[in-house]
Every structure is written in C-alpha cells, then in structure tokens.
A and B are shown apart, each in its own frame.
Chain A
C-alpha cells in the first residue's frame, strides 16, 4: 500500500515532491498513459520546430523517479477506480492498491463536430506524440490550417511557420487570444504574426474539411463559404478535463473533478490536481478549472503534502500566461477583461510603435489583473500583489511604470515581503 498517482505530468511531479517533503519512505506508484518520463508539455512547440530534442524536454533529471522512490509505469493508463477496495485498475487489468490516490490526468483536446474530421492529416497539439506526428508529416506539408486562435493554436502555428509551412489561423471569436489576453494585447500579437506571414482569419470557423479521394486533405471550407487550400488541419480549440477514469464512481465532478481547498475530492483519501481538477478560484471564489502550468504544479505540491498527512490549503488559482511570439514577450495575469460595470478601475499605457503595452486592473483599490506586452521585466511584482491581494492605494501609478522596481512598493510592504522587521525600529541604534 502507498501512494498512487494517475498521470505523469507537472501536477504529478509536484505531488511527488510534495509527498517527499514529509514522507521519504512510503512507496509512490505513478500510472502514466504516455510512454515518456514527465516532460515540459509546452515545449512540444519547441520540439516541433526542432529547437529542442526529445531528450531535452524532460522536466526532471533522469534519476528523478528512482531518487524519489517512485515506481513509474509508463504507457499504462488507468481505466477505473474501485473506491471501495481502494484500487486503481490499469489497462490490461492490473490493479494497484492505494492508501492515498491522486488523479492528475490533465485535459484532453476538444474536437468539435466538423465534417471530414475523421481521417489522416488532422492533428491535435497537446502531447509529445501529437508533436511527433506533426513533425513526421511536416516535410510533406505546404499549407496548414490551425483551428483556434488560443495559446495552443498560436504555438502550433508559430512552430509550423518556422518549419517553412504557410499557416492560416481560423478563430471563431473576433480576435485571437480572447480568453487569456485583452483586445490590445491580442491585436499587438496578431499584428506581429501577420508581419511575419501568419494569416489570421477571425469571426469564422472551419465547417468542413475537404479531402481527396485518397483521403488526404486538400482544403478547409469556412463558415463564410470560402475555401482555404491546405494539406493538414490542426485543431486547437481547447482542452477538457480528462475525467473518464472517475466515471461510475461516487467522486463528484462538474466540468472537472471537484476538490476542496486541500485538493481532496469528496471521497476521503482521493485527491485531484492540475488541469483535471476544479478548485476554488482566487478572485471570484467560485469553483473552476484553470488549466495553466504553475497552477498544476502548485496543486500537485499541495495535494502531495496533504496526502503525506499535512493540512495545507491551496490559495486559489490565478489565471496567468506568459508567451513570447517572435520577440514580443506578453504576459497576462488575473482579471484582464473586466466587465464594464464600473466596479473595476483600469489603468493603461500604450506605445504602439514600440509594441509596448501595460494594463492594470484594480478592484476596490487592489490590483486584480495585469497585461504586459513588450516590457515585461519584473512583472512578477505585479503578480505577487495580485496573488496576495495587497491594497495598492498610494502606489498605483508607480506600478504602471515600465521600469517598475521593487522599490516602488511602500517601504513597510517591501520590508514585510522580504521578511524584515517592519515596525519603525530606529536603524543602527542597537547593534543589528
């Protein structure tokens, strides 16, 4: 008996490191659907364009599992959980008993009902296998249509473009990156992508994938009737929590697996973390799935520590994204598209020719969101204020400066954050 973790991505790594902070003995078993040691999933874009090799995308050193006392079963997906017997059954029927279980199955790409979707040359872009498939096919591709102008779609488009393939992005909304970024940031990035030759079509979608007799793709028909000639289609319109493994159990789900602040499900001893978990949101205090990387690691870490007997609560998920498209670093944190109901205060500075943009969103005097394009140095200072819900009265303007410095925080706050005494002890009156 021991710990069992279903899934082998960043949340699982976080959980292993969390468990081992407090329990160095009890064995941990990881059931991994994918046949690879944990890797940096966002790096598949770099892998696709040939910037990194497969061996370079591992998240931890090769001895990670061994040194952390983990028995890892690669290519061994879990199929069902028998909560009564405290067992996980893997494909092939092998049962793994557990004392504490973590479900970190992540998300699966969502495939919309598009005519002609079934068949070759249609790709998703989530796993290393997806990237491998695309990379294998790439030399024969001249034109690719990417369905979805979110982060995954853009990263796929960028990598394909770098391979010399003509890429068109088709986005249903009126702009790309509408979820993670605001309009201006989206526009600046769209402009940059157009500059380098990636075509973007908005307020449109692929209605049918056109295939030749032999089944290969030769075009995509859009909602407006236009036809885009292409050899392949990448579908990247989002992921859904992969909750198949809990179906038929009493584990409660909504969109994802519902967890409390300790990342525990309604079944004691069973935890969930990462893109599959639906945890309390930091800002709205509602339950939601926030499928972002740091969130997954932190949830895994919290879950792991609690599985090892601690009682640590997860402080909530802050949506945040950092991307760098062709030399324009772009960061968004927290509330970036606030409703225009007067309850939010928005500060903006924009120098379009320099492709530099800063937007700060305040609510009740507290920073709740930030979008930065171009100059993103020290952006974490803003993220920290958002995370800690620090009232920003008196230094709002300073936060908008491009050369934001830690010194712009009021002295008591910056001292507190550095762990220094904040009460006004006269400096140097007694030996320090």
Chain B
C-alpha cells in the first residue's frame, strides 16, 4: 500500500460491505478508532483500509442496516507447519521497528485447557439431586483466615462462640472482579464494576491505579491493591476498601512489571495515581522491599497495621512452576487470601513473548497449592482465589471442586461490557471504550449499562452454579470446596491427573 511500510500491509481482516445495504450513514467511520473506514463525499461512498482493521467488530455491531461483516482473512503465505504467518509477520514487524512485540488480553495460544478436560458429577438414584428453584441453595462464600478450632462457651446454658475471628469477607457469589487499574481501563468501566459488585454482594479490585474519589462510596465492595509501583496508595485508600491485595505477579506477564505510558496519564488519573500528569507509570518487576517471604510478611503486617487489623490481606501471584511452595510461604507470612493468576489471565499490555510463553495453567497451580496447604495443615489459614481464564459458570464450579474458595473474573467481565478480545488494549484506542481514556471513546461504556450487564452476568452464573450443585446433590457451595471426587478427567495424561488429584472418567 502506498506510503506504508511493508509490515503494515498484511492485514488480518477483510471488511465486507454490502453495497445494497450500505446507506452511507458513516456510523462505521465514526465508531472506528483505527481509521479503517473512509468516506468519499464525491461518490457518497464508504471505502476502507483493511490493513488497519484490528477485528474489534465495533462497526459491524453498530451498522444500522447490517451491511458490514468483518472476516478473518489473513493473506496466505505458502503453507509451512513451522513458519506460521504469525511468526513471519512478527519478524517483519520487529525487523522494521527493533521493538518488543506488544499485545493485550490473555494468552491465546493453543495450550491445553484443563477445564475442558474435567467433567462434573451428577446424582443418580442413590443420592437425590436437589432442585434449586424449590429448595435453598447456598452460594455464600467467606474469604479469610479460619481458626484451627472453634471454642464455644456457655452463657447461662446458651452456647456462644468464644473464638475471635480475624476479618472475613462475605460474598453472595463465589466471584470477584479481577484487578484492572483505573488507567488501564477508564472510570466508566470502574463505575460499572463497582456498582455491579455492590448490587451482587461481591467485590471488585482497584488494580494498581488507586481509587478515584467518586468511588470511595463503594468501599465495602472494593479490594484496594498495593503493587510494586505503589501508585495511588495512601492511608485513606487502604482504609477505603474491604480488603487489601498485595500484587506480586500477574498471570499474563509473570516476572515483569507494568507500564502505563505517559500519554494516558491525564489529570484525573494523575491525581488518583499520585504521579505527575503525562509521566510514565512504571511498576517495577519486583517489589523493591520484598526479596523473601520474611519481607513479604513485613509488608502484609504493615498493611494490617495500617488498617487496624480490620481487613483481610490478599497476596496475589502469577501461577508459576513452584507456586505451591511460594503459597505455603505466603500463608505463613500472614496472607488471609492467596490469589493464583494463571497464564491465561488478561492484561492491558504485555510483551507477546512473555504472555504466550510464561507461567502455568491455573488449574494445575490450584490443585498443587490446595494439596500442599492441606498437607502442611495450613489450608484453613487462608482462602484461595483463582484467576486467569474463567470463561463460564462450569469453570467456576470446577475450580471450586479443585479447591478454590472463589474465582476472579476479569476478561469475562470486560466481554460483558462489550470487549471482543481484539487484543489491542495497549494502543489506548479501544473502540469499545474499555481500555481507553480518550474521552470520546470512553463514553462508549455507560456506567449504568455496564453495571446492569455485569450484574446480569454474575446472577446468571449464580443460577447455573446452583443448578450444577443441585445436580450433584449438594445444597451449599461449601460442600463442594476441594471435593475433587466430583471431577473426572477425560483425555489427560496420568501425570496431569495426579497433579489435579482426579480420577479418569469411568474410574
């Protein structure tokens, strides 16, 4: 194409515009933030530069006459099982720019998805199934440290709990919205998440972007995050939430930090993050005060001290090879909740190589961590929350059967508000108005609509979870936790089944 470097010429998508239906209204042109659609006012016709199309489908979704279809049509290179077009194009790009390949959202590569290799049990004859429409079905979930034993005392013959609990979070569903910072996503999405969390009786997580003043009102449904950049962290912030999360690592980019470019740091974000307007927000790869479990313990207790021991402290790590040993250390360091973020976890920006090649599946990490904590007799001291690639309510049920107390949903939440996984979050031009702070684009997420959609999603999953529990003859989620007998493997290697702690189907 004219005036374009070669590496930008191989488009991934084609735009089919039905000339009989196109009315020239230019809604597509206005909606596209990548400049794909163009209007020829002499011919009164729309044309397109398909090489710019990222496949977000925004134009297709808003076209009033259904005149547009976006198709995946990468130009064909000669077939080569080793050199797939992606690799060729990546090399062209890097040869042209000398830069690191960037991407967004979670690992899309065709690694095994263990959720899809595990099947759930159901009651037949010998144990009755339960109809959740007729009988109570408890999804209530508590997160936090449980005592080793309960002490009960009698006060004039009336039993009373003597044991004092450390702070607990009470959730109406075993779900939390994952950490996504204000900055990586905009305030409208945050408002939607906060309001949905309140409406559903669950929590959302600020991510490492601080808490916008207008959202303090949702404090009891907020987990405030403390990460390596310490952006937006101050005493009121820590006290504003219902829990504090220390982020050590992220599933999409284990071992590296975050980077929000300066041009995204507008006035409101700068105030919230407490950094100068226009300056890059760079989160270091490690916390510079944490080089050991002992150091982690110091931070955990510093945060507990700062919040008067009233809020549980979460510690989140990326799921990596020795997660089990690390998790054990985290519990011993005083974490009330440990979060495992699998390699499918999303991100606003990550180097493609890291995202696609680092970390392990959260299913395996969860099973090994749960096992390890049980073996060490400290499983009660912390709850486990898993994140990274939870796509549906069945994934939630399987995660809980594997040993999780609750799950974080991030990508699913964004899809609920419109995300089409085009993986271009890092450009700041999100046409769906999610991963952008451009005021023109950000308006595309209406907080009311976002809150309603997220609420609907959580409630829908809640209904499905109840149905699945009922089918298994279980009337409380608590009875499923770590109940791996309810899972069977299909098409898995014995070694994988051993890690997962489940039997083969039929076995």
A contacts B: CB pair < 8 Å: yes
The interface stretch among B80-88, B445-453, B480-488 is B445-453
A residues near B214, Cβ cutoff 8 Å: 426, 429
A326 within 8 A of B: no
Q: Is B398 an interface residue (CB 8 A)?
A: no
Interface of B is mostly: helix
Which of B217, B446, B447: most chain A CB closer than 10 A?
A: B447
Q: Mark A355-387, 1 if CB is under 8 A from B, else 0.
A: 000000000000000000000000000000000
**Cβ of B392 under 8 Å from chain A:** no
Q: How far is the CA of A428 from the CA of B187 in the complex (A)?
A: 10
Report the minimal beta-carbon distance from B406 to chain A, rounded to whole angstroms: 26
Are B448 and A431 within 8 A (Cβ)? yes
Interchain nearest-CB distance for A328 vs B (Å): 27
**Which among B188, B217, B451 is the interface contact of A431 at CB below 8 angstroms?**
B451
- Residue B191, interface by CB 8 Å: yes
Q: Which of A322-360 contact B (CB under 8 A)?
A: none
Residue numbers in A under 8 Å from B302 (CB-CB)? none
0/1 interface trace, chain A 30-48, chain B, CB 8 Å (1 if under) = 0000000000000000000
User: Are the CB atoms of B215 and A428 closer together than 8 Å?
Assistant: no
Per-position contact with A for B443-464: 1 when CB-CB < 8 Å, else 0? 0001110010000000000000
Distance of B333 from chain A, by nearest CB (Å): 36
Residues from chain B with a CB closer than 8 A to the CB of A430 are 195
Residues of B within 8 A of A426 (CB): 214
Residue A284, interface by CB 8 Å: no
Q: How far is the CA of A429 from the CA of B212 in the complex (A)?
A: 11
CB pair A428 B448 closer than 8 Å: yes
Q: Which residue on chain B has the smallest CB distance to residue A429?
A: B214
Distance A128 CA – B99 CA, assembled complex (angstroms) = 82
Sorting the interface of chain A by its residue count into under 10, 10 to 19, 20 to 34 or 35 or more gives under 10
Give CA–CA (A429, B451) in the complex, Å. 10
Q: Decide yes or no whether A93 CB sits under 8 A from chain B.
A: no
Q: Could you tell me if A428 and B217 are in contact, using CB atoms closer than 8 angstroms?
A: no
CB-nearest residue of chain A relative to B450? A428
Chain B contacts for A429, CB-based, 8 A: 191, 195, 214-215, 217, 447
Q: CB-nearest residue of chain A relative to B192?
A: A428
Which residue, of B191, B192, B215, has the highest number of chain A Cβ atoms within 10 A? B191
Q: Nearest chain-B residue to A431 (Cβ)?
A: B448
Chain A residues whose CB sits within 8 angstroms of the CB of B447 once the complex forms: 427-429
Contact partners of A428 in chain B: CB under 8 A: 188, 191-192, 446-448
Closest to A432 in B: B448
Q: How far is it, in angstroms, between the C-alpha of A426 and the C-alpha of B213 when the chains are bound?
A: 10
Interfacial chain B residues near A427, Cβ < 8 Å: 447
Segment 427-451 of B: residues with Cβ below 8 Å from A: 446-448, 451
Interface residue ranges of A395-432 to B (CB < 8 Å): 426-432
Q: How far, in whole Å, are A101 and B338 apart by their CA atoms in the complex?
A: 85
- How many Å lie between the Cα of A430 and that of B447 in the bound state? 9
**A432 to chain B: which residues have CB within 8 Å?**
448
A429 to B195, CA, bound (A): 8
Docked complex Cα distance between A106 and B388 (Å): 80
A338, chain B: closest CB distance, angstroms: 40
Closest to B213 in A: A426
| Assembly CA distance A429 to B219 (angstroms) | 13
Q: Which residues of A contact B192 (CB under 8 A)?
A: 428
**Smallest beta-carbon distance B145→chain A, Å:** 33
Nearest CB in chain B to that of A428: its residue: B447
Query: How far, in Å, is B440 (CB) from chain A's closest CB?
Result: 14
Residues of A within 8 A of B215 (CB): 429
CA distance A430 to B188 in the complex (A): 12
Of chain A, the residue at the smallest CB distance from B194 is A429
Interface string of B113-150 (1 = CB under 8 A from A): 00000000000000000000000000000000000000
Point out the residues of chain A lying under 8 angstroms from B446, CB to CB.
Answer: 428
Proximity string of chain B (361-377) to chain A, C-beta cutoff 8 Å, 1 when within and 0 when not: 00000000000000000
Nearest Cβ distance between residue B191 and chain A, in whole angstroms?
5
B180-193 to A contact mask, C-beta < 8 Å, 1/0? 00000000100110
Name which residue of chain A comes closest to B452, CB basis: A431
Residues of A within 8 A of B191 (CB): 428-429
Residue of A428, A430, A431, A432 with highest tally of chain B CB at under 10 A: A428
Q: How far is the CB of B418 from chain A (nearest CB, A)?
A: 15
The CA-CA distance from A428 to B448 in the complex, in Å, is: 6
**Segment 8-43 of A: residues with Cβ below 8 Å from B:** none
Residue ID in chain A nearest B218 by CB atoms: A429
**Please, how many angstroms separate the alpha-carbon atoms of A378 and B217 in the complex?**
42
CB of B449 to closest CB in A, whole Å = 9
Least Cβ distance of B310 to chain A in Å? Answer: 25
State which residues 193-229 of B face A: CB under 8 Å: 195, 214-215, 217
Proximity string of chain B (467-490) to chain A, C-beta cutoff 8 Å, 1 when within and 0 when not: 000000000000000000000000
Min CB–CB distance B308 → chain A (angstroms):
27
- B217 / chain A contacts, CB cutoff of 8 Å: 429
Assembled-state Cα–Cα distance A430/B195 (Å): 8
**Which of A426, A429, A432 gathers the greatest number of chain B CB atoms within 10 Å?**
A429
Q: Closest CB-CB distance, A235 to chain B, in whole Å?
A: 52
Residue of A nearest to B447 (CB): A428
Complex Cα gap A240–B501 (Å) = 103
Q: How far is the CA of A98 from the CA of B396 in the complex (A)?
A: 82
What is the CB-to-nearest-CB distance from A427 to chain B, in angstroms, rounded to a whole number? 7
**In the docked arrangement, what's the CA distance between A428 and B191, Å?**
7
B357 to chain A, nearest CB (A): 39
Alpha-carbon gap, A126 to B215, bound state (A): 66
Q: Give residues 213-262 of B contacting A (CB, 8 Å).
A: 214-215, 217
A116–B339 Cα distance when bound, in Å, is 105
Q: How far is the CA of A432 from the CA of B192 in the complex (A)?
A: 12
Report the bound CA distance from A134 to B446 in whole Å. Answer: 63
By a CB distance below 8 angstroms, the chain A residues around B188 are 428
Q: How far is the CA of A428 from the CA of B193 in the complex (A)?
A: 11
Bound form: Cα–Cα A53–B214 in Å: 63
CB neighbours (8 Å) of B195 from chain A are 429-431
A402 to chain B, nearest CB (A): 20
In the complex, the chain B residue whose C-beta lies closest to that of A427 is B447
In chain A, what residue has the closest Cβ to B212?
A426
Q: Whose C-beta in chain A lies nearest to the C-beta of B191?
A: A428
Bound form: Cα–Cα A429–B448 in Å? 8
Cα A429 to Cα B217 in complex, Å, equals 9
Which B402-420 residues have a C-beta within 8 angstroms of A?
Answer: none
The distance from the CB of A425 to the nearest CB of chain B, in whole angstroms, is 9
Shortest Cβ gap from B471 to chain A (Å): 35
Name the residue on A nearest B449 (C-beta): A428
| Complex Cα spacing A429 to B446, Å | 11
Q: Kindly state the separation between the CA atoms of A355 and B215 in the bound complex, as whole angstroms.
A: 54
Tell me the minimal C-beta distance from A117 to chain B in angstroms. Answer: 59
Cα(A427)–Cα(B449), bound, Å: 13
For the complex, give the distance between the alpha carbons of A426 and B190 in Å.
13
Bound form: Cα–Cα A140–B214 in Å: 79
Q: How far is the CB of B217 from chain A (nearest CB, A)?
A: 7
A81-101 toward B: CB 8 Å interface, digit per residue (1/0)? 000000000000000000000
Complex-state Cα separation, A430 to B217, whole angstroms:
10
Chosen A-B contacts, 5 in total, with CB atoms closer than 8 Å, are A429-B191, A429-B215, A430-B195, A431-B451, A432-B448
9 closest Cβ pairs, A-B complex:
A428-B447, A426-B214, A428-B191, A429-B214, A432-B448, A431-B448, A429-B191, A428-B448, A428-B188
Q: Which residues of A contact B (CB under 8 A)?
A: 426-432
List 13 additional A-B contacts (Cβ < 8 Å) besides A428-B446, A428-B447, A429-B215.
A426-B214, A427-B447, A428-B188, A428-B191, A428-B192, A428-B448, A429-B191, A429-B195, A429-B217, A429-B447, A431-B195, A431-B451, A432-B448
